[in-house]
Structure 1
């Protein structure tokens, strides 16, 4: 026990672990490990450890190693039945605590330290046996070539049950560096808040991680302490390697592209950062203390290529497939990787193919033959192969592609969106009768199938061609805006049973398989409604009821203006390129302005409420100013012209770059400008009518700043400005309190729980809020003194009109798609 604990105590007061709530020094970590070790028993045992990236997991892992046990890490909540039945662990450590099992003990080789799953996600009991020498040698090599120092702080972006993620733990604890423990994804703002707060210097990623980084605008983030980023877990496209290497060069950090396998304890090769742009396809050079060679391979057409063979102290002891194998000593001196490689530069190697039937998807090594056997067990004869980061399945016979995809995804433990499937009358084969896998890849269209697929819902809500929806697309990417957002959020809640806070920027693939949050007893009833949706529904009801005279509770329109700014920041100011952002903003303006102008045109025919200036949504500019009815649409005018002005501003490259680099500060400038006009500091003397002019823009700016606030301090600053600004604004305490409470809730409360029927009603009202606002002025007067009926009718008619417009859009889309399909027929023939 002593050597590991003594190693931890060497670093004494240095920071060892950081989380959202905890900070431990090495001395404190050593105390926890020493206290925990006795709970695992004195007899050397096999410990199955269900891991989260948290302090408890790290403590139990180190305690098991310190006590000399053999550890088998597994993902928390995963299926461990096969492994438990095969290896009969003596001790199980999970979220419920430590559980001792009476197995009679096992014969464990003295050098055996760690068992890691090698089949990735296919549920195979085949494990990699790793010794203390393997782990220590690889940790030293990684710390050496990465240049890890005591001041480094690494965020755990990968699970500790994965050899890549565990190698981050080993290499940093070896040199006295710190770990930022978190299970959060790089797609979540909370991850970056934690990373910046704890002065993170590095994080690790598989290829999919870098796709997420592209989506969250990583290139514009301010990460002042970032020193280097590592990538492994499968090949990354050369273009992306070059781009991130160049980004690191500009921003002062380095990109390390690496190559490895569980059988080598983690890392076998790395690409020196200065070669990433000139040799982005390379896996690099062997890690310190090891070597790579290329050995001839029969049947491979390229004489310069061969099987890549690795030699070094981190080559595994061997595989285990049965409990008796745990007693065996080392059986390998070298690792034949199964990868076909060639030299591509000074001491560099490049992977050009595979000799075996494995694929790497999301950093998981997947046995394709095992997947074929699994399908056969379901009565499906099929060929399984891969295409980049996707599995490709061709099934023979009248099988449902959707059912095939689900079986494969379940067996491989990957998202359904990562599997493409097709059913054919006969499997493609070579003249020799062997399966023709290259041909199989060409038979599958990379489009998820199934009537219940989220992609179909996105196409339906956004009025898009279903064939244009990919699993990589997000709501924002597809042109979603504040109007379609309500419909989508309500339908997602029904389908998923939960609503991730960051769903508008999550790809469909992640939404489909994002786990539901752990439920608390007080959350176990009703449905979740996003606060912006609930406030939108409440505000429009207050607007209609106050105008109809059912009661007076003014301020709903100003809450709606704040919500509009909040949604503008979320759905228009996205990481998309400048032209697409402005185009998206123009589309949003059209969704608001066109229905408003159309309704004004109808009202001009049947009433005398409006004037020609209302057709331009410019009554506040052009008058008449003495009309009792022409100014009713002030809210729509303020919103449309505000969005139009911002679209013109953001078209300027300088403004676009400034907003991307300093999103909160950019919004805060506009909020400050709004406050200057709100208090009339220039002395314009606009008077109380400014409530209903473009000067009300500051409510919009407050919502905008709230959405871009990424820290509690920033949210607090917006809250203070809001409270100060609203005080005395209306000269009515109730109205000011209503607006303040509503917008403060928007800032601090992401969602609310309510009975399902209330959630459905709120969603329907919020979705139709624009149409309710436009039409209610002409509806409630029809009911005279029956004010309650007038309010109800206004809401019902607005909802009905919204449904009619939606159906019209659907039919227009279907007609457009039909014409496109007809146009394609001659070309296909």
Structure 2
């Protein structure tokens, strides 16, 4: 207690605090702080302090520190119920006075001095633990680079509950300078009267403060004693930095652009004022005693760009999530800022984006800051946030919400239906003056209109679940959608809401409901290329086997499409055990109907043997039967999936695939090509080892699903061209397979007549059952191959319909067939 009070006393009669109604010298402030400390005397306690920029708050804050208590500042008139319920403070100081609660004596680390909410979690029980060392180290460095003098007087333009506002107080009290305490806004003329009256020399602001300064004609104000202004609390657009740097140059004051975080006790770097005009896009250099490093980050390319990581004596002790964490000492040495930055040639650092301000929508990485900038350029002051896969835009003033929606969608590169625009009189701000993005997200939720349950009923019908049990925030994949139900869903969904986004299967039902229905139904519809290929392939297979024509290669195209769907539906971001279970379900969906049909065929015909029941004829023989290879496609696919299920059961393989999905797919493609060319000299025969020889087709499809860049697609295409050359005896067959897989790689969707889309979808959906039964069906029309092909397709469609009806009956009779599955996890991923 003595050291803090003695420090204040050491500045004697110098003016410490100035308000509308009073002034205090440092000696007078020291006396009041000593009285407050005496009033708070006792065991070390947690003090929750509701802050205002006034003498009473300042005195109680300093008094609590002087009495060796731990202080938790919170904003006035904000809900901090969660914090109080979590930490149960021993002392609460607010507008009604001091309240002491008699809790059991708590253990708190000796170094702990201050607990603060981060700017992004105001009101949250997650707090930053700051030590006495943190506070002194940061205050002294700030005072040094700003050149704070005893004669300086800083206006409190920011709340004391915000680390930036508190750092102004710390650094000025450390140097014996004066504080002009006021809660008035910079748009209030009384603020400027007070500032001029007490000969204010500095003020601090977040980006929004500078927008306000610009709006009130700050450039015309007479402020003869102003020495500098500081900016932090978020990235200010370079053009505004340059604007105020030019104003500072003309008016004779300095502009310091600073960069920091609550976790760094406020400040990590600053841009020297002489560089503000020439380097407005940078955050400057680290403060004395601190250092930056650029560390690689997934999803960001380029050796000079990565996550900005800070080290220094001002790095927090760590986070607190509950009262027991207050006992902990320092648990972190470095601070991962979450900002994406580069080190420039002149030694300055430039932040190019914020990882948490980037969202992934429709396969795109969207910079919400850039969307805000694009709207600002069109005269729309806005805050952008994301709510799942919906872009939420709050715009100030009178604007047409549809125009805002269109402009934001264009800037983000997403469909207008993925944007929710809300107009407001004023943009919501946190007490610190920073954008309140959580409120923006809440605006979208409160303005949601009741949605039709049509989509839920559609999902329930296709997936054979109860509509009432569907989670509206779950996607098709989350709800167990697979490649066969995907076909039906695509066709029916497009008829309901119009043209679908490319990754609709990963969008929640709620997000799909928000997509505007077409004003009039187009005669064209979007069709997945993989669906079209499945339909074409099964027709080619049946037609060639029935000798209606001779166009081979359809089964190999189907195998590649199976790999493509494996990459999309089986390797979803769910826990490892769920992935393995999903793969097991996938195998069952293929193997069970195949085995049942073989059993029926064994009873009625002599087409199969017992090895076909095991789906292992290619392994166990006999190889000389005319029907031995009929089910090769099913056997190859099932055993490929069995092998992959075993591999991805291994934690290491699971982790590698999640981190590098395309790389792992390519690695398996390389293995497939090694087997195809027999690089190891194993002399594999095409019969017994057909599974291994054909695996590369599956791997090509898998790699296609994971290829997200043009370069990656080119690489897959080159591998396809090289591997296909000489694989078949027929050039026509190679050309057909090449054409089909090239479409899969480069043209994910096609547009075709709506009526045709429905027919193609039905045939594709029935492809598995058609493949199983067609050998027995077309044989019944000997001499009439066209009838045989038509009948085979019809029986396949009929069987698919019967199975669907049976599942509906079972659902109505016994409840959901998927009752054992969490609504947020993917289940069956039929390939």
- TM-score of the pair, normalised by structure 1: 0.50
- TM-score of the pair, normalised by structure 2: 0.49
| Higher RCO (CA < 8 A, seq sep 6+) | 2
